Amino acid sequence: MSAFVLSPTAHAPLGVAADLLALLGETATEPRPDPQLDALTLAVSADLPVLLWGEPGIGKTAALHQLAASLDLPLTTVIASVHEPSDFAGLPVVGDDPAVQGVPMAPPDWAVRLVREGRGLLFLDELSTAPPAVQAALLRVVLERRVGALRLPAGVRIVAAANPRSSAADGWELSAPLANRFVHLQWTHDTEVVVRGLGGTWPRASLPRLDPARLADAVDYARRAVCGFLTARPTLVHRLPNNETRRGGAWPSPRSWDMALRLVAFAVAADTSREVLSMLVRGTVGDGAGLELLASLDRMDLPDPETLLADPGNAVLPERGDLRQAVLDGVVAAVRRRADQARWDAAWELLVAALETGAPDVVVVPAATLAALRQDGWQVPAAIERLAGVVSLSQRADAAASRAGQPVGAGR
């Protein structure tokens, strides 16, 4: 019986299919604002392990492939759930004289390749389907960057991905020790990005541009911010959640605060947007502690009321209404502490500037309070006339709202 041999033309259909697949695989990238991608690249730049949480098919793996290609880093993918603990802790290898030489732990081939390359992106996929024993073995890999007897080089970055337990195949909750070693980012899809990407153009991933002139100031700012906040809120230094699911996410500990401090420093040096910083801080110490820290950062950035009173004509007020309100309240409080005609007049000038450059409602309470601080003999500045209408209108609106809330017949 003779063997069947394919003719050369029999390969043609697969060859044409390969050509079509190659065309489908040809995509381009473009610079495009993408906060979650910016958060990922900043955490990677800060050399912190990142864990992407998202539903199956959301594009976590594709994002990592695109990130590795954009950063020109070799990508090594390890499916955590299909490995044994020894694949991360190393397999014992008995030598000629174990009593003298000991028993070294042989690393897996993927770790050897990363060490040989000296750089790369280690992608730990399907982390939430890894059993507890494997998660325990991953602790040293994520924190100490050790795999068996090998230490991963400084040029290797670690990113993991996981599905929520509700949508993971045979999923497990992430153990608290492992979860506390990651920056947790929620990965979602943007319809416009997906549609444009399917059309052949995806957002370009690039590391943040750090300003060399701002490095020292960034470190000083981050240390003052985190240390000052924890001094005021000592109960948040370490708070282990009492819920198993929440323990598998971001929560405050000395380790995660150290990560948050590093991320704040990198965000300042890179002039990162508040949205990206919020993702990173909340993904490190949790939503509650993270939002409190962000509010504390806002207060740190507010201008000094004394500086504003000394030169009201050149004052720059915050754009956000809540921050502008806080600044004006601080100005009025400063005048109350040390009241004189010049400081009182300067405060009115600041209120007028706030009225002309923002929503009028933020000046109502400070104006009423400032007016009550007037002392006998002080001349009324012309600026008050420009504010009187706003205050009067607000008071009439409050009175009307109060009357509207009274029951029928009230006050008769």
% of the chain beyond a pLDDT of 70: 85
DSSP 7: -
Position 410 scores a pLDDT of 43
Identify the H or E element spanning 225: helix 215-232
186 exposure class (CB count in 10 Å sphere: 0-12, 13-18, 19+): middle
Whole-angstrom distance, CA of residue 79 vs CA of residue 328:
55
Per-residue pLDDT tens over the stretch 300-328: 888 888 999 999 888 888 888 888 888 89
Identify the H or E element spanning 389: helix 383-404
Residue 398 has pLDDT above 50, yes or no: no
Position 100 scores a pLDDT of 56
Per-residue pLDDT tens over the stretch 242-255: 988 899 999 999 99
Torsion of CA 228, 229, 233, 235, to 10 degrees: -100
Confidence band, pLDDT 50/70/90 cuts, at residue 409 = very low
Identify the H or E element spanning 163: none
Position 117 scores a pLDDT of 92
- End-to-end, the C-alpha distance of the chain in Å comes to 113
Confidence band, pLDDT 50/70/90 cuts, at residue 80 = confident
233 exposure class (CB count in 10 Å sphere: 0-12, 13-18, 19+): middle
In order of their start, the domains of the chain are: 31-91+105-203 (3.40.50.300), 212-300 (no CATH), 305-403 (no CATH)
Whole-angstrom distance, CA of residue 235 vs CA of residue 255:
15
Position 407 scores a pLDDT of 47
Q: 250-279 burial string, b = 16+ CB within 10 Å, else e?
A: bbbbeebbebbbbbbbbbbbbebeeebbbb
Position 163 scores a pLDDT of 86
Determine the distance from the C-alpha atom of residue 220 to the mean position of all C-alpha atoms in its chain, rounded to a whole number. Answer: 20
For residues 271-298, give the mean pLDDT.
Answer: 94
Position 405 scores a pLDDT of 54
213 exposure class (CB count in 10 Å sphere: 0-12, 13-18, 19+): exposed
Per-residue pLDDT tens over the stretch 125-183: 988 888 888 898 899 899 889 888 789 999 999 999 998 866 655 668 889 999 999 99
Determine the distance from the C-alpha atom of residue 85 to the mean position of all C-alpha atoms in its chain, rounded to a whole number. Answer: 31
